[in-house]
Amino acid sequence: MAEMSRRNSRRLRRPMSQINVVPFIDVMLVLLIIFMITAPMLQQGVEVDLPEAQAEALETEQRAGEPIVVTVTAAGAMSLNQGPLVNEPLAVPELIGIVQGILADTPGVQTYVRGDRNVDYGRVMDAMVALQRAGAGRVGLLTEPPRDTN
């Protein structure tokens, strides 16, 4: 009989096939605390005092003809790629007048500003606002593709 009770006790004491999740929860809580501490440190930025300009909202238009490109040099001088004074330094009122004439002849032409890397950002904004005052619906910025360092 004692032998029979041993067999029954073996059958009753089978190993449980459940996963112990306590170590997993401990690890997750430690990771949560680490991320809560380090997350504010990852949010870094640079304070920038952006120039203010009274500009109108951009509208979607159909594009046709050669694009108008206003170039702003490192010294801050503005010039146009077309019109009577091609690549000549222009004051803002002259620039607005010439661009208005071009837009009257070819409405919906694309307009871009090409600014020197070392020019004051406010001067680039002046060129963009001048184009909008002249009637350009949308003004884009032109950049150079990155140089291959190989």
Tens-place pLDDT, residues 84-123: 777 788 899 999 999 999 888 888 788 988 888 788 888 9
Both tokens of 149, joined, read 């360092």
Per-domain residue ranges of the chain: 68-141
Tell me the fold of 68-141: Nucleotidyltransferase; domain 5 (3.30.420)
**pLDDT at position 29, please?**
95
**β-pair partners for 86:** 80
Place 42 in a pLDDT band, splitting at 50, 70 and 90. Answer: low
Question: Taking all residues of the chain, what is their mean pLDDT, rounded to a whole number?
Answer: 76
Higher pLDDT, 51 or 94: 94
**pLDDT at position 11, please?**
59
Distance CA 57, CA 20 (A): 60
